[in-house]
């Protein structure tokens, strides 16, 4: 199964944000054990680095991103993704761009904590807790 992981879940892990850390770690465990194929978009990397730079040194950031890239594949962002994202009419362009990239990459689910941010997504959107519950069945 191919899933796109929303930026907020990666940040939950890297910033140890409670009460979201434990479910996010369960998702990473599934990725590590080959239960799912996980992706993020290229622009998510820049967003993540921008946000965590206040908490971590450049060396720590480099290590965290390289570790992330050992587990999760990156979907590139192209011109057509940007144009498609504008057409989706999302309130948040980052979410729209993730959705348009996920559609092009034939992702089955966008896994997020903020489903309401993706209501206009053409790709199925599922909350992290709901996704974890489905996978345990």
* pTM for the structure as a whole: 0.92
Please check whether residue 129 lies inside any domain of the structure: no
Is the dihedral angle over the CA atoms 64, 66, 71, 74 positive or is it negative?
Answer: positive
Using the predicted structure, report yes or no on whether residue 126 has a pLDDT greater than 90.
yes
Q: Give the residue numbers spanning the domain of 45.
A: 2-124
Q: How many domains does the chain have?
A: 1
pLDDT digits (tens, 9 = 90+) for 14-33: 999 999 999 999 999 999 99
**Angstrom distance (rounded) from CA 112 to CA 7:** 8
Please check whether residue 136 lies inside any domain of the structure: no
Residue 2 dihedral angles phi and psi, to the nearest 5°: -100, 125
* CATH code: domain of residue 38: 3.40.50.1010
Please check whether residue 15 lies inside any domain of the structure: yes
Binned at pLDDT 50, 70 and 90, residue 137 comes out as: low
The pLDDT of residue 136 is 75
Please check whether residue 27 lies inside any domain of the structure: yes
Please check whether residue 132 lies inside any domain of the structure: no
DSSP the chain: -EEEEPHHHHHHHHTT-TTTHHHHHHHHHHHHTTSSEEEEEHHHHHHHHHHHTTTS-HHHHHHHHHHHHHHSEEE---HHHHHHHHHHT-SSHHHHHHHHHHHHTT-SEEEES-GGGGTT-SSEEEEHHHHHHHHH-
pLDDT digits (tens, 9 = 90+) for 43-61: 999 999 999 999 999 999 9
Please check whether residue 133 lies inside any domain of the structure: no
Please check whether residue 137 lies inside any domain of the structure: no
Q: Find, among 112, 105, 98, the residue nearest to 43 by Cα.
A: 98
Binned at pLDDT 50, 70 and 90, residue 70 comes out as: very high
Please check whether residue 120 lies inside any domain of the structure: yes
């Amino acid at each position: 199964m191919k899933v796109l992981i929303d930026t907020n879940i990666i940040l939950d892990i890297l910033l140890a944000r409670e009460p979201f850390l434990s479910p996010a770690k369960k998702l990473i465990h599934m990725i590590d054990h080959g239960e799912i194929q996980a992706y993020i978009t290229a622009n998510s990397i820049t967003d993540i680095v921008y946000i965590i730079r206040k908490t971590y040194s450049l060396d720590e950031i480099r290590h965290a991103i390289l570790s992330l890239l050992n587990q999760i594949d990156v979907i590139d962002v192209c011109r057509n993704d940007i144009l498609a994202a504008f057409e989706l009419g999302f309130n948040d362009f980052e979410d729209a761009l993730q959705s348009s990239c996920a559609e092009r990459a034939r992702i089955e689910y966008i896994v997020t904590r903020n489903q309401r941010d993706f209501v206009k997504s053409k790709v199925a959107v599922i909350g992290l807790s709901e996704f974890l519950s489905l996978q345990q069945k």
